Amino acid sequence: MLEVSEIKEIEDILANYIVKKDVVKPNRPAFYIDANNIRDVIALLKQRLGDEAIYISNIVGVDKVSDGVIEVNYFIHLIPFSNTIVIKTSIPRDNPKIPSIIDLLPGAYSGECETYDLLGVEFMGNKYLRRGFFVPTDVTSKNIFPLRKDVKV
């Protein structure tokens, strides 16, 4: 598990961008940041912790109809600290665009393609996005995104 000093170290690195702090069970620290700063945050982490130290574990999109936003969560695993931190951003539901991080961490390719195909979040700068990645063609021809809450598939 993370020691108090290690959490403090990560917080110092990202001090300029954190809006709110939280904890995802079981004791994984979560940081809320603004959606446009995601590229600076990842570049800063890579620069301070080294090239062989971090990998993207997961990119999750959650559709929150009542708040009118789509939450995009990045789960980043830090190998020297043996724990995973969560970076949470939220983007408006009627214009879901967020900058892509595929040139910094090429491991984000699979996560970004899947989130685009199933939820409709567009990652600007990623030229490999396409609709037939996972979803079969009878659903894509109706031009709907299957995982949104207001869609009856």
Partner 1 sequence: MESEAAEKATSLIKIPITLEIPIGPQHPAIHEPVLLKVYADGEEVVGVDIGTGYNHRGVEKLLENNTFYKDKFITSRICGICNTVHENCFVRAVEYISGMEPSARARYLRVLVMELERIHSHMLINAIMAEIIGFDTLFMYIMRDRELVMKAKEIVSGGRVLAEFHMFGGVRRDIDDVKKEKILDILKKLEPRLKYYRRLFEEDPTITKRLMEIGILRPRDVVSHGMVGPILRGSGVKSDVRAEDRYDAYNEVPFNVIVKGEGDSLARMLVRWDEALESLEMCRYILEHLPSGSAVVDERKLPRVFPAGESFARVEAPRGELTYYIQHIKGDKPYRVKVRTPSFNNIINSGFSYLRHSIADVPVILVSYDPCISCMERAIVVDLKNGTEKKVTFRDIAMGKVRLR
Query: How distant, in Å, are the alpha carbons of 80, 81, 113 from that of 2?
Result: 11, 7, 31
Question: 36 or 85: whose CB is closer to partner 1?
Answer: 85
Can you read off the two tokens belonging to residue 66? 């009542």
Distance CA 18, CA 89 (A): 11
Q: Minimal distance in Å, beta carbon 21 to partner 1?
A: 15
Q: Does 43 bind partner 1 (CB under 8 A)?
A: no
12, 15, 20, 52: which one binds partner 1 (CB under 8 A): 52
Our CB check for partner 1 shows the closer of 95 and 137 to be 137
Q: Counting beta carbons within 10 angstroms of the beta carbon of residue 142, is it exposed (0 to 12), middle (13 to 18) or buried (19 or more)?
A: exposed
Residues found near partner 1 in the complex (CB under 8 A)? 24-26, 28, 51-58, 60, 62-63, 73, 75, 79, 82-84, 86, 105-111, 113-114, 118, 132-136, 138-139, 146-147, 152-153
